[in-house]
Amino acid sequence: MKPNNILGLSHGFLLGHLQSVGLDFPKNISVVAVCPKGMGPSVRRLYVQGKDINGAGIYASFAVHQLAPLHEPIESIVTEVFGMILTLIIFRSLIRWQCYKYLCQQMLQNQLIEQQYEPLHMLF
C-alpha cells in the first residue's frame, strides 16, 4: 500500500493472525475496522431493506488500530463508510477486541449448542 493510505477491515482476525506470528501492519498506513454487528445474511438483508425503508440498518462498531498522517480526521472517513452501509448506531472499539469478542462468542454459542440449548434461548 502507498504511505498514508487507509486499510479498512470488517473484523479483527487479520490483526490477530499477524500478531500471532510476530508481525504487524506497516507503520506508514492507517488501519481501521468497520465491524457490522450481525451474521452475514442478516447484515446483507438489513442493508438491502435500509435502501427502501428509511431508518433500517444494522449496528456496527469502528475500531482504529493505528493512524498514519491523514489529510482529514479519521472520524469523518469512518462516518462516510458507515453511511454507505446504512448503520444506525456506531460504537468505538479496538480491532483486537473485535477479534476476541467474535471468537469468544462463537465458543460460547458452540458450548450452548452442545448442551442442547434451543437457539432461540441464545441472545446473540
Is residue 11 annotated as part of the catalytic site, yes or no? yes
Specify burial of residue 116 (Cβ count, 10 A radius: 0-12, 13-18, 19+).
Answer: exposed
The H helix count followed by the E strand count for the chain is 4, 4
Strand partners, 62: 34, 92
Give yes or no for a contact between 90 and 60, defined as CB atoms under 8 angstroms apart: yes
Closest CA to 62 of 37, 26, 29: 37
For the chain, what is the largest distance between any 2 Cα atoms, rounded to a whole number of angstroms?
53
Active centre residues (catalytic): 11
